A and B are shown apart, each in its own frame.
Chain A
């Protein structure tokens, strides 16, 4: 079964970090990614640019509006995700708990919907 692990971290912490700490943080993420690639949990994953680069897009009555900022303001911000395959929720939670951001931020684990073709 596939799960999406959404990583919420305080993005200001990343922005105010020293160069050395940032290198260390990225190395931790790289090591984690490598480890889940090796054991087969990894399906995909991306890191996002800070929320100040975000646009919220809506279409109402055929009219497009694009406003600055993320969809919702939160204390911690969505900073990236991993798409993983896991045996069950326990397995998924174990993988999620090893994401470096779990130590200071929050990981939301969401099961993926299996679509059937129309």
Chain B
């Protein structure tokens, strides 16, 4: 295998693409405008090669870390060192992971192609997941990775405008629109209700909302679109109090039906607490914890602590914040929890 997987991936695919194009031409006899034909070949090649590269790098039979690493290196053009830094690993480890994935592509014969229509939902899910992982990796500290994920999401929407691809792009745009207001200059997380909404990126929110609406009116939207719809309601609300919590709870209900998950239940409980009052939210969170789920999840304890705080039950709030702090890893989140404890 040549040193550059990209050129290797593209060259093996290109011949097939041209073959297919030739075949298509034979099927459509008649006169052709030669200039038009040349452009067709180029467009066809670029779109097809791009998509093939994305689907090959994000193939579910490859190690998930390798999928992300190959996507960042081969599609986004980051260097091995840059990818390694983003994922807190060394360049040689990362390079080895990529070599292993390339060897598997060759040995197990992972095809360099766009999936058949019938396989598309499963394969697209894997691509969207990789893009979302890249975005989340950049959530707190790496704006460049979030930007890369958005660029990649936009590219995918242009090439393959499936509802969930549109939904994911909307979700990322809406979250990213709040980036500058999410942490203090000192690096402490600012919760949604305390963020300076005048500083949110208005054009980006408009674009996100437009995409959510587009995804919602098409058939086959899913969890990314629903999460984007929730993010859109937050983004368009003038304040936390004036947020349409009833509709947010309703969207979480739909999301839960499509995608049962304790984390989504937790988010729903927090939204329901805003709609019906803190004690209603507490009942739901306690029920989730009683099942044994999310006991080690810092945000479950943080959400519980917030509700105790709003009810003025200080001792219970304190012990829940302390539990959350013991489990939290990200620095911005830890600082917010420490502030909450000080303020009690």
> Residues on A close to B: CB < 8 A?
1, 87-90, 93-94, 109, 111
Give the distance to chain B from A48, nearest Cβ to Cβ, in Å.
24
From known contacts A90-B115, A90-B119, infer whether A1 and B109 are also in contact, taking CB-CB under 8 Å: yes
Q: Do B108 and A89 touch (CB < 8 A)?
A: yes
Which residues of chain B are within 8 angstroms of A111 by Cβ–Cβ distance?
107-109
Which residues of chain A are within 8 angstroms of B107 by Cβ–Cβ distance?
111
Q: Do B61 and A88 touch (CB < 8 A)?
A: no
Which residues of chain B are within 8 angstroms of A87 by Cβ–Cβ distance?
111
B76 at the binding interface (Cβ < 8 Å)? no
> Residues on B close to A: CB < 8 A?
61, 107-111, 115, 119
Q: Which of B107, B108, B111 has the most CB of A within 10 A?
A: B108
- Extra contacts, 17 of them, besides A88-B109, A90-B110, A90-B119 (Cβ < 8 A), are A1-B109, A87-B111, A88-B110, A88-B111, A89-B61, A89-B108, A89-B109, A89-B110, A89-B111, A90-B111, A90-B115, A93-B61, A94-B119, A109-B108, A111-B107, A111-B108, A111-B109
Interface pairs A-B: 10 shortest CB-CB: A88-B111, A88-B109, A89-B108, A89-B110, A111-B108, A1-B109, A89-B109, A90-B111, A111-B107, A89-B61
Give the distance to chain A from B256, nearest Cβ to Cβ, in Å.
25
Q: Which of A1, A88, A90, A94 has the most CB of B within 10 A?
A: A90
Give the distance to chain B from A91, nearest Cβ to Cβ, in Å.
8
Closest to A109 in B: B108
Closest to A1 in B: B109
Which residues of chain A are within 8 angstroms of B109 by Cβ–Cβ distance?
1, 88-89, 111
20 A-B pairs with CB atoms under 8 Å apart are: A1-B109, A87-B111, A88-B109, A88-B110, A88-B111, A89-B61, A89-B108, A89-B109, A89-B110, A89-B111, A90-B110, A90-B111, A90-B115, A90-B119, A93-B61, A94-B119, A109-B108, A111-B107, A111-B108, A111-B109
